[in-house]
Protein backbone atom coordinates (compact mmCIF):
# COMPACT_ATOMS: atom_id res chain seq x y z
CA UNK A 1 0.00 0.00 0.00
CA UNK A 2 1.31 3.43 -0.92
CA UNK A 3 2.09 5.86 1.87
CA UNK A 4 -0.63 8.31 0.84
CA UNK A 5 -3.18 5.51 0.92
CA UNK A 6 -2.54 4.33 4.45
CA UNK A 7 -2.28 7.85 5.81
CA UNK A 8 -5.93 8.24 4.77
CA UNK A 9 -6.75 5.39 7.17
CA UNK A 10 -4.82 6.87 10.09
CA UNK A 11 -5.80 8.99 13.02
CA UNK A 12 -3.93 11.06 15.58
CA UNK A 13 -4.40 10.98 19.34
CA UNK A 14 -2.77 13.75 21.29
CA UNK A 15 -1.48 12.03 24.36
CA UNK A 16 -0.41 14.73 26.80
CA UNK A 17 -0.95 13.44 30.32
CA UNK A 18 -2.66 10.30 29.03
CA UNK A 19 0.66 8.47 28.90
CA UNK A 20 2.40 9.67 32.05
CA UNK A 21 5.35 7.67 33.30
CA UNK A 22 4.53 7.56 37.00
CA UNK A 23 7.26 9.94 38.01
CA UNK A 24 10.39 8.16 36.78
CA UNK A 25 12.61 8.92 33.81
CA UNK A 26 12.67 6.76 30.73
CA UNK A 27 16.30 7.61 30.06
CA UNK A 28 15.79 7.47 26.32
CA UNK A 29 18.84 6.39 24.40
CA UNK A 30 17.39 7.86 21.18
CA UNK A 31 15.44 11.05 22.03
CA UNK A 32 12.84 12.13 19.52
CA UNK A 33 12.38 8.65 18.03
CA UNK A 34 9.18 6.63 17.58
CA UNK A 35 8.25 3.13 18.64
CA UNK A 36 6.02 1.23 16.21
CA UNK A 37 3.67 -1.51 17.38
CA UNK A 38 2.37 -3.85 14.64
CA UNK A 39 -0.31 -6.42 15.37
CA UNK A 40 -2.58 -9.15 14.04
CA UNK A 41 -5.25 -11.40 15.55
CA UNK A 42 -7.27 -14.45 14.58
CA UNK A 43 -5.14 -15.26 11.55
CA UNK A 44 -6.63 -18.79 11.56
CA UNK A 45 -4.06 -20.61 9.43
CA UNK A 46 -4.73 -18.27 6.51
CA UNK A 47 -1.26 -18.68 4.99
CA UNK A 48 -2.52 -18.15 1.44
CA UNK A 49 -4.66 -15.20 0.39
CA UNK A 50 -8.39 -15.70 0.03
CA UNK A 51 -9.07 -17.11 -3.45
CA UNK A 52 -10.04 -14.67 -6.17
CA UNK A 53 -13.53 -16.17 -6.35
CA UNK A 54 -14.20 -16.00 -2.59
CA UNK A 55 -17.60 -14.58 -1.62
CA UNK A 56 -15.88 -12.25 0.88
CA UNK A 57 -12.34 -10.86 1.06
CA UNK A 58 -11.37 -12.14 -2.41
CA UNK A 59 -7.62 -11.87 -2.93
CA UNK A 60 -6.97 -10.41 0.52
CA UNK A 61 -4.55 -11.62 3.18
CA UNK A 62 -1.65 -13.99 2.74
CA UNK A 63 1.56 -14.38 4.71
CA UNK A 64 3.83 -13.37 1.84
CA UNK A 65 2.25 -9.92 1.44
CA UNK A 66 2.07 -9.45 5.21
CA UNK A 67 5.77 -10.26 5.54
CA UNK A 68 6.65 -7.79 2.78
CA UNK A 69 4.63 -5.04 4.47
CA UNK A 70 6.22 -5.75 7.85
CA UNK A 71 9.66 -5.51 6.24
CA UNK A 72 8.84 -2.11 4.75
CA UNK A 73 7.51 -0.80 8.07
CA UNK A 74 10.66 -1.93 9.86
CA UNK A 75 12.78 -0.09 7.32
CA UNK A 76 10.83 3.06 8.17
CA UNK A 77 10.75 2.42 11.93
CA UNK A 78 13.62 0.36 13.36
CA UNK A 79 12.26 0.48 16.94
CA UNK A 80 9.28 -1.82 16.63
CA UNK A 81 7.23 -4.68 18.07
CA UNK A 82 5.17 -7.29 16.21
CA UNK A 83 2.40 -8.91 18.25
CA UNK A 84 -0.55 -11.28 17.82
CA UNK A 85 -3.70 -11.66 19.93
CA UNK A 86 -4.35 -15.37 19.41
CA UNK A 87 -6.19 -17.96 17.32
CA UNK A 88 -3.31 -18.68 15.01
CA UNK A 89 -4.68 -22.24 14.68
CA UNK A 90 -7.75 -23.56 12.82
CA UNK A 91 -9.44 -22.57 9.60
CA UNK A 92 -7.64 -23.97 6.53
CA UNK A 93 -6.05 -27.23 5.38
CA UNK A 94 -2.68 -25.85 6.47
CA UNK A 95 -3.79 -26.43 10.05
CA UNK A 96 -5.53 -29.72 9.32
CA UNK A 97 -2.29 -31.16 7.88
CA UNK A 98 0.44 -29.42 9.91
CA UNK A 99 -1.34 -28.63 13.19
CA UNK A 100 -0.04 -25.06 13.46
CA UNK A 101 3.63 -25.88 12.95
CA UNK A 102 3.80 -23.98 9.63
CA UNK A 103 2.05 -20.96 11.13
CA UNK A 104 4.51 -20.79 14.01
CA UNK A 105 7.46 -21.24 11.67
CA UNK A 106 6.30 -18.45 9.38
CA UNK A 107 5.54 -16.14 12.30
CA UNK A 108 9.05 -16.77 13.59
CA UNK A 109 10.50 -15.83 10.20
CA UNK A 110 8.43 -12.63 10.21
CA UNK A 111 9.96 -11.79 13.60
CA UNK A 112 6.93 -11.80 15.88
CA UNK A 113 7.85 -10.66 19.38
CA UNK A 114 4.95 -12.40 21.17
CA UNK A 115 1.43 -13.78 20.87
CA UNK A 116 -1.26 -14.70 23.38
CA UNK A 117 -3.19 -17.96 23.53
CA UNK A 118 -6.52 -18.14 21.76
CA UNK A 119 -9.14 -20.82 22.31
CA UNK A 120 -8.31 -22.47 18.97
CA UNK A 121 -4.76 -23.11 20.17
CA UNK A 122 -6.42 -26.01 22.03
CA UNK A 123 -7.96 -27.59 18.91
CA UNK A 124 -5.46 -30.47 18.85
CA UNK A 125 -5.33 -30.80 22.63
CA UNK A 126 -2.42 -30.05 24.93
CA UNK A 127 -0.14 -32.67 23.40
CA UNK A 128 -0.90 -31.38 19.90
CA UNK A 129 0.02 -27.86 20.98
CA UNK A 130 3.20 -29.05 22.69
CA UNK A 131 4.25 -30.94 19.57
CA UNK A 132 4.31 -27.82 17.37
CA UNK A 133 5.13 -25.13 19.98
CA UNK A 134 8.94 -25.47 19.54
CA UNK A 135 8.50 -23.98 16.06
CA UNK A 136 7.47 -20.69 17.71
CA UNK A 137 10.71 -18.79 18.27
CA UNK A 138 8.85 -16.12 20.23
CA UNK A 139 7.06 -16.06 23.61
CA UNK A 140 3.49 -17.34 23.92
CA UNK A 141 1.68 -15.44 26.68
CA UNK A 142 -1.28 -16.03 28.96
CA UNK A 143 -1.39 -14.85 32.57
CA UNK A 144 -4.79 -16.18 33.65
CA UNK A 145 -4.45 -19.83 32.63
CA UNK A 146 -2.79 -22.21 35.08
CA UNK A 147 -0.56 -24.24 32.78
CA UNK A 148 1.95 -25.67 35.26
CA UNK A 149 2.38 -29.45 35.18
CA UNK A 150 0.64 -29.71 31.79
CA UNK A 151 2.16 -30.26 28.33
CA UNK A 152 1.55 -26.58 27.64
CA UNK A 153 3.53 -25.45 30.70
CA UNK A 154 7.02 -25.23 29.16
CA UNK A 155 5.81 -23.01 26.33
CA UNK A 156 3.55 -20.40 27.97
CA UNK A 157 4.64 -17.35 29.96
CA UNK A 158 2.65 -14.68 31.78
CA UNK A 159 4.48 -11.61 30.47
CA UNK A 160 7.59 -10.23 28.80
CA UNK A 161 9.41 -6.90 28.95
CA UNK A 162 10.94 -5.36 25.83
CA UNK A 163 12.85 -2.10 25.46
CA UNK A 164 12.68 0.00 22.31
CA UNK A 165 14.44 3.37 22.02
CA UNK A 166 14.68 3.40 25.80
CA UNK A 167 10.94 2.85 26.25
CA UNK A 168 10.34 -0.16 28.50
CA UNK A 169 7.24 -2.00 27.29
CA UNK A 170 5.51 -4.63 29.43
CA UNK A 171 3.38 -7.13 27.52
CA UNK A 172 1.08 -9.75 29.04
CA UNK A 173 -1.63 -12.07 27.71
CA UNK A 174 -5.18 -12.89 28.79
CA UNK A 175 -7.25 -15.87 27.65
CA UNK A 176 -11.00 -16.40 27.38
CA UNK A 177 -12.97 -18.78 29.61
CA UNK A 178 -12.57 -22.23 28.07
CA UNK A 179 -15.56 -23.97 29.67
CA UNK A 180 -18.41 -24.18 27.19
CA UNK A 181 -16.17 -23.01 24.37
CA UNK A 182 -13.57 -25.79 24.16
CA UNK A 183 -14.18 -29.49 24.79
CA UNK A 184 -12.91 -30.37 28.30
CA UNK A 185 -10.74 -33.19 27.01
CA UNK A 186 -8.84 -30.70 24.84
CA UNK A 187 -7.79 -28.37 27.65
CA UNK A 188 -7.41 -31.02 30.37
CA UNK A 189 -5.96 -29.61 33.57
CA UNK A 190 -5.67 -26.03 32.34
CA UNK A 191 -7.53 -23.78 34.77
CA UNK A 192 -9.00 -20.38 33.96
CA UNK A 193 -8.71 -17.52 36.46
CA UNK A 194 -10.34 -14.09 36.62
CA UNK A 195 -8.72 -11.97 33.89
CA UNK A 196 -9.44 -8.66 35.64
CA UNK A 197 -7.69 -9.76 38.84
CA UNK A 198 -4.71 -11.10 36.90
CA UNK A 199 -4.48 -8.00 34.72
CA UNK A 200 -4.45 -5.80 37.81
CA UNK A 201 -1.71 -7.94 39.34
CA UNK A 202 0.41 -7.90 36.18
CA UNK A 203 0.08 -4.15 35.65
CA UNK A 204 1.30 -3.46 39.20
CA UNK A 205 4.15 -5.94 38.79
CA UNK A 206 5.27 -4.53 35.44
CA UNK A 207 5.09 -0.92 36.64
CA UNK A 208 6.67 -1.33 40.04
CA UNK A 209 9.09 -4.22 39.67
CA UNK A 210 10.09 -4.01 36.02
CA UNK A 211 9.71 -0.21 35.79
CA UNK A 212 7.75 -0.37 32.55
CA UNK A 213 6.60 2.87 30.98
CA UNK A 214 4.03 1.41 28.61
CA UNK A 215 1.77 -1.61 29.19
CA UNK A 216 0.22 -3.71 26.43
CA UNK A 217 -2.37 -6.42 27.06
CA UNK A 218 -2.73 -9.07 24.36
CA UNK A 219 -6.30 -10.19 24.94
CA UNK A 220 -8.33 -13.04 23.52
CA UNK A 221 -11.39 -12.10 25.57
CA UNK A 222 -13.36 -10.46 22.76
CA UNK A 223 -14.10 -6.82 21.96
CA UNK A 224 -17.65 -6.30 23.25
CA UNK A 225 -20.54 -8.33 24.70
CA UNK A 226 -23.97 -7.10 25.71
CA UNK A 227 -24.12 -9.52 28.66
CA UNK A 228 -21.88 -9.69 31.73
CA UNK A 229 -19.02 -11.59 30.08
CA UNK A 230 -15.71 -9.79 30.48
CA UNK A 231 -14.53 -8.17 27.26
CA UNK A 232 -11.80 -5.74 26.24
CA UNK A 233 -13.95 -2.67 26.76
CA UNK A 234 -15.05 -3.77 30.24
CA UNK A 235 -11.47 -4.66 31.15
CA UNK A 236 -10.24 -1.25 30.02
CA UNK A 237 -12.94 0.58 31.99
CA UNK A 238 -12.31 -1.30 35.24
CA UNK A 239 -8.51 -1.08 35.52
CA UNK A 240 -5.86 1.61 35.65
CA UNK A 241 -2.48 1.30 34.05
CA UNK A 242 -3.04 -0.54 30.76
CA UNK A 243 -2.12 1.74 27.86
CA UNK A 244 -3.14 -0.50 24.97
CA UNK A 245 -5.30 -3.62 24.60
CA UNK A 246 -4.76 -5.54 21.37
CA UNK A 247 -7.73 -7.87 21.17
CA UNK A 248 -8.97 -10.92 19.35
CA UNK A 249 -11.67 -13.62 19.32
CA UNK A 250 -14.61 -11.56 18.04
CA UNK A 251 -13.05 -10.87 14.60
CA UNK A 252 -13.85 -7.19 14.97
CA UNK A 253 -12.63 -4.78 12.29
CA UNK A 254 -11.82 -1.50 14.02
CA UNK A 255 -10.64 1.21 11.66
CA UNK A 256 -9.13 3.02 14.62
CA UNK A 257 -8.57 2.20 18.28
CA UNK A 258 -11.29 3.11 20.74
CA UNK A 259 -10.40 5.27 23.74
CA UNK A 260 -11.97 3.85 26.91
CA UNK A 261 -12.09 5.98 30.07
CA UNK A 262 -10.74 4.23 33.15
CA UNK A 263 -11.22 4.93 36.88
CA UNK A 264 -8.21 7.26 37.22
CA UNK A 265 -9.54 9.57 34.48
CA UNK A 266 -6.94 8.44 31.96
CA UNK A 267 -7.73 6.29 28.90
CA UNK A 268 -6.86 2.86 27.55
CA UNK A 269 -6.79 2.28 23.80
CA UNK A 270 -8.61 -0.84 22.58
CA UNK A 271 -7.97 -2.18 19.10
CA UNK A 272 -8.53 -5.26 16.93
CA UNK A 273 -7.67 -6.08 13.31
CA UNK A 274 -10.45 -8.35 12.07
CA UNK A 275 -9.39 -11.87 11.15
CA UNK A 276 -7.54 -14.11 8.69
CA UNK A 277 -4.57 -11.79 8.25
CA UNK A 278 -6.69 -9.42 6.16
CA UNK A 279 -5.34 -6.46 8.10
CA UNK A 280 -2.16 -5.45 9.84
CA UNK A 281 -2.53 -2.87 12.59
CA UNK A 282 0.12 -0.25 13.30
CA UNK A 283 0.44 2.19 16.19
CA UNK A 284 3.28 4.71 16.32
CA UNK A 285 4.30 6.17 19.68
CA UNK A 286 6.16 9.45 19.12
CA UNK A 287 8.67 10.19 21.88
CA UNK A 288 10.08 13.60 22.72
CA UNK A 289 13.54 14.31 24.10
CA UNK A 290 12.29 14.11 27.68
CA UNK A 291 10.99 10.58 27.33
CA UNK A 292 7.30 11.49 27.14
CA UNK A 293 4.91 10.10 24.54
CA UNK A 294 3.81 13.17 22.61
CA UNK A 295 1.23 11.56 20.37
CA UNK A 296 -0.07 8.27 19.05
CA UNK A 297 -0.73 7.66 15.37
CA UNK A 298 -2.68 4.57 14.31
CA UNK A 299 -3.05 2.93 10.90
CA UNK A 300 -4.89 -0.12 9.61
CA UNK A 301 -3.46 -1.71 6.45
CA UNK A 302 -5.55 -4.02 4.28
CA UNK A 303 -3.26 -6.78 3.06
CA UNK A 304 -3.52 -7.41 -0.66
CA UNK A 305 -5.66 -4.38 -1.51
CA UNK A 306 -4.92 -2.47 -4.67
H-helix or E-strand spanning residue 245:
strand 244-247
User: Does position 23 have pLDDT exceeding 50, yes or no?
Assistant: no
SS3 content of the chain, % helix, strand, coil (to 5): 25, 25, 45
User: Does position 148 have pLDDT exceeding 70, yes or no?
Assistant: yes
The answer to whether residues 192 and 145 touch, using CB atoms and an 8 Å cutoff, is yes
User: Does position 2 have pLDDT exceeding 70, yes or no?
Assistant: no
What is the per-residue pLDDT for 31? 60
What is the per-residue pLDDT for 305? 75
**Tens-digit pLDDT profile for residues 213-268:** 999 999 999 999 999 999 999 999 999 999 999 999 999 999 999 999 999 999 99
Average pLDDT, the chain: 90
What is the per-residue pLDDT for 291? 66
User: Does position 281 have pLDDT exceeding 90, yes or no?
Assistant: yes
Kindly report the CATH number that applies to the domain delimited by 3-302: 3.60.21.10
> Per-domain residue ranges for the chain?
3-302
pLDDT more than 70, % of the chain: 89
Extended beta strands in 85-190, E state: 114-116, 140-141, 145-146, 156-157, 159-164, 167-174
What is the per-residue pLDDT for 4? 40
What's the pTM? 0.91
What is the per-residue pLDDT for 82? 98
**Tens-digit pLDDT profile for residues 36-49:** 999 999 999 999 99
CB-facing half-sphere around the CA of 224: CA atoms within 13 A: 11
Please provide the size of the chain in residues: 306
User: Does position 287 have pLDDT exceeding 90, yes or no?
Assistant: no
Query: b vs e for 183-208, b when ≥16 Cβ sit within 10 Å of the residue's Cβ?
Result: eeebbeebeeeebbebbbbbbebbbe
Amino acid sequence: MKRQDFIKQSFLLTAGSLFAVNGFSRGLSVPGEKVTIMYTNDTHARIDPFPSNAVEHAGLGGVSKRAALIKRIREDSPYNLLLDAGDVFHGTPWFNVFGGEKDFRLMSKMGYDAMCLGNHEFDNGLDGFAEVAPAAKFPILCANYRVQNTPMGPFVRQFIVRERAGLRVGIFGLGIRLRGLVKPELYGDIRYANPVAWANRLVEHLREVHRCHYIICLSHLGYRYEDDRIDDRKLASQLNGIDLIIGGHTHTFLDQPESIARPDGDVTLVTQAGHSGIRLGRIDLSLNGYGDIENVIAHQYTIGSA
